[in-house]
Amino acid sequence: MAIPGAQAPQRLGRYELLARLATGGMGEIFLARMEGAQGFEKLFVVKRILPHLADDQRFRQMLIAEARLASKLSHANICQVYELGETDGQLYIVMEYMEGVTLLPLLRKQSKEQGVLDFGFVGGVVQQTSDALHYAHEMRDRSGESLGIVHRDVTPSNVFLTESGVVKILDFGIAKVKDASANTQTGTVKGKYAYMAPEQLRGASIDRRVDVFALGICVYEMLALRRLFRRKTDYLTFRAVMEQPIPDIRRYRPDVPDALAIALAHALDRDPANRYETARQFGAAVLDAITAVKRPWTQGEISDFIRLEFSDDLRKRSTQVMGAIHKTNVDSRSPMLLIANEDATQPGTHEDDDDDEFPSVESTISETPLEIRATNPPRDGKDFTGQVTPPPFSNETSTSGVSLKSIGQTGQGAGMSMPQAHMMPPRQGRSIVWPLVALAGVGIAAAALFLVWKQMQQQPPAVVNITSSPDDRVPQKTEPEPNVATPDTDPPPDKDPPPDKANPPGKDPPKKPPVKRGDPYKEAIQAHRSGINRCAQEHGAPPPGVKVVITVSTEGKAKGVALEPAQLNNTPLGTCIKNVLGYAAFPKSADEKQVSVTLSAS
């Protein structure tokens, strides 16, 4: 539905502005038409700086840098920029117009419907996206020197799926080019936190491998249909990127091939030296893993899927565009039409806001700041204050961390005001007693804090013991030691053997007890004891009597890990323990088995 918007000029250069598509903090984009001889016309997208920022040199240079960079990129999977123009002091760039949706609404829709994306679709999207990124990374100038292009903002909202099945990368506006001072400054962080590599968040020097990391996040989210690092606040998102253990993708998509899970872990390594060197390498690894189970989709198959999933949205948008094209007798003073885009992020919002339709993975990151948690360790195993993990679906309206209230909101009610003090007659002079008392109080408080800190330093780290549960039914195998004769030590046949003093004649020799072998299931769990101890040291010791139940598949993999009591499963400690034991390797067997152990802190 076309709705009235703010007034805008009807033309920019040779382009007639038909409708406004979106408005952001820096600029706005329009649906535009260029007409030619004999009824020729073509649709474009025109992006310009907002009028009140048109004279700001910083924004002008950013738009010019974006246009210059994009003009060098000519690839089927990159949104094309055709022109940089200026009319009446208004800078604008002209881009290709595309029909379709970005990857973000598709992920939301599939997650809301609890569906899954076909491996063939994922392979087709990754193939086109990785080809486009590799092309941009490999761009060179006319002298043959690499331009060092890094996109820095590879996110689901910047991966566009056209109605014809072509995948396009959008928005090279914050891309980094080697030695280009107009784009960025040293230490500047640009992009969306939830899709940044750790070195990018630190403001360190970056290269193409940050785009590999971001593409790995997109692939993870296509498979899991959950946000990998996005949290309720930028602080929690930042910490999730820097320290959150990345869950095995098979926890949310059990049918993921092992090769694909390994490729994802490689791309999402926090050390750039351990990642794939290029986007092409990562794309090839994903395709090889997927091809083993499903052929990657062609453009035609992707097109059919998009048309099916978004038939109503595409039809509605097509009607809006046709209405804008065929409008007649338009007064130049009339307001510009606004074409509503269900896919676009609305002004004033951010795609990383709470999104019930696209939840996050389970988190072990506490919402309490590190400084507060460091001075308030758990008093016992049952104290989990400040460590409650939000549920997978973000249906809470507030966080569960430490809240700070103003003085006027404390006491008996939020609207309670401070009591009025009695007026005291002014003194003729100031006494030195109260400053001395204040200094003494500060000294006592500092000494108390030092003693608390000293006591914390002297406390030994928590150690978790793993013992078998009484109801454990995993069989243990025992095998008697074989009795093997040694011919070299047999006595000669013509002589009687010497009498055995320990075993006189007429008595049978004592039988050796069978050698008991360790239970391989318990040994597999014990192998991860150091990881469980690390969880206890970071998130507090487990309360007494905690039991861990692991369901082992016939392939020897942890199919499910659960803690008892059940309320521990969604705590940072419980999530950390499940992450650790989720990687345990058990013996293969003909049937699924269930192993349970008890954790106790000492």
352-356 long-range contacts, CB within 8 A, separation 24+: 352/192, 352/193, 352/194, 352/230, 352/237, 354/232, 354/394, 355/108, 355/227, 355/230, 355/394, 356/393, 356/394, 356/395
Q: Is 91 helix (H, G, I), strand (E, B) or coil?
A: strand
* Omega before residue 105 within 30° of 0, cis: no
Q: Which letter does DSSP use for residue 245 in this model?
A: P
Distance CA(441)–CA(434), nearest Å, equals 10
- Taking the C-alpha atoms of residue 107 and residue 252, their distance in angstroms, rounded to an integer, is 14
Residues in contact with 196: Cβ distance below 8 Å, sequence separation at least 6, in sequence order: 189, 210, 213, 214, 241
DSSP conformation class of 226: S
Q: Is 19 helix (H, G, I), strand (E, B) or coil?
A: strand
290: closest CA among 107, 103, 125, 78? 125
End-to-end CA distance of the chain: 66
Q: What letter would DSSP give residue 17? A: E
Amino acid at 584: A
Burial 353-386 (b: 16+ CB within 10 A, else e): ebbeebbbbbbbbbbbeeeebeeeebeebeebbb
Catalytic residue list: 153
Query: Cα(600)–Cα(602) distance, rounded to whole angstroms?
Result: 7
Dmax (CA) for the chain in angstroms is 128
Under a CB-based contact definition with an 8 Å cutoff, are residues 299 and 7 in contact?
A: no
- Residue whose token pair is 């510009």: 336
DSSP state letter for 250: G
- Please give the Cα distance from 25 to 422 (Å, whole number): 51
Tell me which H or E stretch contains 302. helix 299-309
The CB density around residue 149, as the number of other CB atoms within 10 Å, is 24
